Amino acid sequence: MNERDALARFVGGDAAAFDELVERHERPLMRFATHLLGCPESAQDVVQECFLRLLRQLPRHRPELPLSSWLFRVCRNLCRDHQRKESRMEERHSRVAIPEITPPEPALFEHEEAADQVRRLLGELPPDEREVLLLKVHEGRSYREIAAVTGLTLHAVGKHMHRGLAHLSSRLRAAGLLTYDPRKNQP
């Protein structure tokens, strides 16, 4: 499906075109938001709101950004708002939750313990670093796209990316996880 066509079709009155857009972007956005928020329910709220904002924007939407970058940017901002609100409202949510995520394919990833720990450590990184890492590794975005999503300069993206990876590696090392390859060493 051509994304620009879908947009045009929707603006032209074909409501089903919007469903296609949702279908297409839902999972990456959910993945991103779940990681950032550590909570699938909140992620659902945020992602739903992303699409609602798109709806409100759409008749006037000028493609300054590719749609997916635009959605990611909205999603990121909403996640940040959400976190600010949460931390204000309820101190108790300061927990670093391990997101509840549907299970992996059996046998793909044997040691859940270690994997959960990796996810927890990732969750402990400063938000800027976490975001750029997620966008790069999970979503396969280029530095340039990430700059558009986050509003950072290219240089800053590079800095955060490297720092994030370096921070994470020292934490992994402290946790004793760097000594083996997660894919090859089965426990």
Q: Which residues bind another protein (CB under 8 A)?
A: 10, 15, 18-19, 22, 26-28, 30-31, 34, 40-41, 43-45, 47-48, 51-52, 55, 90-93, 95, 97, 100-104, 106-110, 112-113, 115-116, 118-119, 122, 133, 136-138, 142-143, 158-159, 161-163, 165-169, 172-173, 177-178, 181-183
Please state the closest distance from residue 167 (CB atom) to another protein, in A.
7
Please state the closest distance from residue 172 (CB atom) to another protein, in A.
6
Token match 């009155």: residue?
13
Please state the closest distance from residue 42 (CB atom) to another protein, in A.
9
**Spatial contact of 122 and 35, defined as CB atoms under 8 Å apart:** yes
- Cα–Cα dist 61/49, whole Å: 16
- Cα–Cα dist 150/135, whole Å: 10
Q: Is 76 helix (H, G, I), strand (E, B) or coil?
A: helix
